[in-house]
Structure 1
Amino acid sequence: MSSTAPTSTASLIRLLDAADTLPGAAELRAHTYDLLRLSPGESVADVGCGAGRAVAELAGRGVRPIGIDPDPRMLAAAGERWPGLDFRSGTAGELPLDDGSVAGYRADKVFHEIADPAAALAEARRVLAPGGRIVLIGQDWDTIVIDAGDPDLTRTIVRARAGTVPSPRAARGFRSSLLDAGFGDVTVEVKTAVFTDRLVPAVLSGFAAAACAAGAVEREQADAWLAEQSHRAEADRLFLAMPLFIAAGVR
Structure 2
Amino acid sequence: MSTADPWSAVADDWGRYWGTFARPVWEPLLTTAATGPGSRVLDVGCGSGELLEHLQDRGARAGGVDPAARMVELARARAVGADVRRGDVEHLPFDDDAFDTVLAVNAVQFADDLDDALAEIARVLAPGGVVGLAGWADRSRNDLDAINVALAEADDEDPPEDGPLRLPGGLADLLADAGWTVLDHGVVPVPWTARNADDLVRGILFGEGDATVADLAPVVVEAAAPFRRPDGGYRLLNAFRWAVARRP
TM-score past 0.5 threshold = yes
Write the letter of the residue equivalent to 1:8.
V
Q: What's the counterpart of residue 15 of structure 2?
A: 13
CA gap of 1:83–1:145, structure 2 versus 1, over 3 A, is: closer
TM-score (norm 2): 0.73
Q: What's the counterpart of residue 123 of structure 2?
A: 126
Work out the CA distance in 1 between the residues paired with 2:158 and 2:204.
12
Contact 2:131 2:244 in 1 (8 A): yes
Contact 1:147 1:240 in 2 (8 A): yes
Q: What secondary structure is seen at the aligned counterpart in 1 of 2:176?
A: helix
Work out the CA distance in 1 between the residues paired with 2:221 and 2:46.
35
Shift of 1:191: 1.0
- Matched pairs, number: 224
RMSD: 3.6
CA gap of 1:38–1:237, structure 2 versus 1, over 3 A, is: closer
In the alignment, does 2:120 pair up with 1:99? Answer: no
TM-score (norm 1): 0.72
Work out the CA distance in 2 between the residues paired with 1:238 and 1:58.
29
CA gap of 1:194–1:58, structure 2 versus 1, over 3 A, is: closer
Q: What's the counterpart of residue 37 of structure 1?
A: 34
Q: What's the counterpart of residue 184 of structure 2?
A: 187
Residues 195-214 of structure 1: per-residue CA shift (max 9 Å, x gap): 464464446558xx9xxxxx
Work out the CA distance in 1 between the residues paired with 2:85 and 2:43.
10
Contact 2:102 2:130 in 1 (8 A): yes
Q: What secondary structure is seen at the aligned counterpart in 2 of 1:79?
A: helix
In the alignment, does 2:223 pair up with 1:229? Answer: yes
Decide which moves more: 6-15 or 173-182: 6-15
Work out the CA distance in 1 between the residues paired with 2:218 and 2:37.
54
Pick the aligned partner of 2:242 from 229, 243, 246: 246
Q: What's the counterpart of residue 165 of structure 2?
A: 170
Unaligned runs of 5+ in 2: 1-7, 209-214
In the alignment, does 2:45 pair up with 1:48? Answer: yes
Write the letter of the residue equivalent to 1:56.
E
Work out the CA distance in 1 between the residues paired with 2:35 and 2:152.
43
CA gap of 1:13–1:43, structure 2 versus 1, over 3 A, is: same
Work out the CA distance in 2 between the residues paired with 1:204 and 1:38.
33
Write the letter of the residue equivalent to 1:244.
F
CA gap of 1:11–1:205, structure 2 versus 1, over 3 A, is: closer
Contact 1:70 1:91 in 2 (8 A): yes
Q: What secondary structure is seen at the aligned counterpart in 2 of 1:94?
A: coil
Work out the CA distance in 2 between the residues paired with 1:248 and 1:197.
31
Work out the CA distance in 2 between the residues paired with 1:240 and 1:39.
31
Q: What's the counterpart of residue 83 of structure 2?
A: 86
Q: What secondary structure is seen at the aligned counterpart in 1 of 2:130?
A: strand
Contact 1:147 1:238 in 2 (8 A): no
Contact 1:37 1:133 in 2 (8 A): no
Work out the CA distance in 2 between the residues paired with 1:234 and 1:57.
29
Unaligned runs of 5+ in 1: 1-5, 210-219
Q: What secondary structure is seen at the aligned counterpart in 2 of 1:170?
A: helix
